């Protein structure tokens, strides 16, 4: 069973994931009702949230000791770097694909959900 700090991190990541899903749903609705610019704005909101993941989780991550703490820090940084890159290049496709592997199927967990599952088993 994960220690208390890892459980707190899991709770934080679940909140971030719920926010991502809310933004994605709003983005789909915006695309249907308001067009591409409104959709892009929602994708940028999603990317900004994920770009801040490493910085916003660092206090919890720093409290996780040893190799697990290092692995978590690296994973948070990868999530953030991908999102920062998507924002920098301004690619709607890249922002849409954040957290979703090439072979993702509807109903499958996104990468953040999969990582939360890994942490539960840590």
Domain residue ranges of the chain, discontinuous segments joined by +: 4-120
- pLDDT of res. 1: 61
The predicted structure's pLDDT at residue 2: 74
Phi, psi of 3 (to 5 degrees): -75, 175
pLDDT score, position 94: 96
Whether residue 53 contacts residue 80, with contact meaning beta carbons closer than 8 Å, is answered with: yes
pTM, two decimals, is 0.93
Distance from C-alpha of 8 to C-alpha of 14, rounded to nearest angstrom: 10
Residue 67 has a pLDDT of 96
Task: Tell the burial category of 47 from Cβ atoms under 10 Å away from its Cβ (0-12, 13-18, 19+).
Answer: buried
> How many CB atoms neighbour CB 82 within 10 A?
20
> What are the average pLDDT values for consecutive 10-residue runs of the chain, which has 122 residues?
90 98 97 95 98 98 96 98 97 95 92 97 80
Cα 15 to Cα 1: distance, rounded to the nearest angstrom:
20
């Amino acid at each position: 069973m994960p220690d208390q700090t890892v459980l707190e991190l899991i709770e934080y990541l679940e909140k971030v994931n719920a926010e991502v899903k809310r933004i994605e749903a709003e983005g789909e609705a915006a695309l249907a009702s308001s067009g591409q610019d409104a959709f892009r704005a929602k994708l940028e909101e999603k990317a900004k949230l994920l770009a801040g993941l490493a910085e916003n989780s660092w206090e919890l991550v720093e409290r996780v000791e040893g190799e697990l703490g290092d692995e978590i820090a690296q994973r948070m940084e990868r999530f953030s770097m991908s999102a920062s890159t998507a924002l920098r290049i301004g690619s709607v496709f890249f922002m849409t694909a954040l957290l979703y592997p090439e072979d993702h199927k509807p109903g499958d967990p996104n990468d953040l959900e999969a990582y939360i599952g890994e942490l539960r088993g840590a």
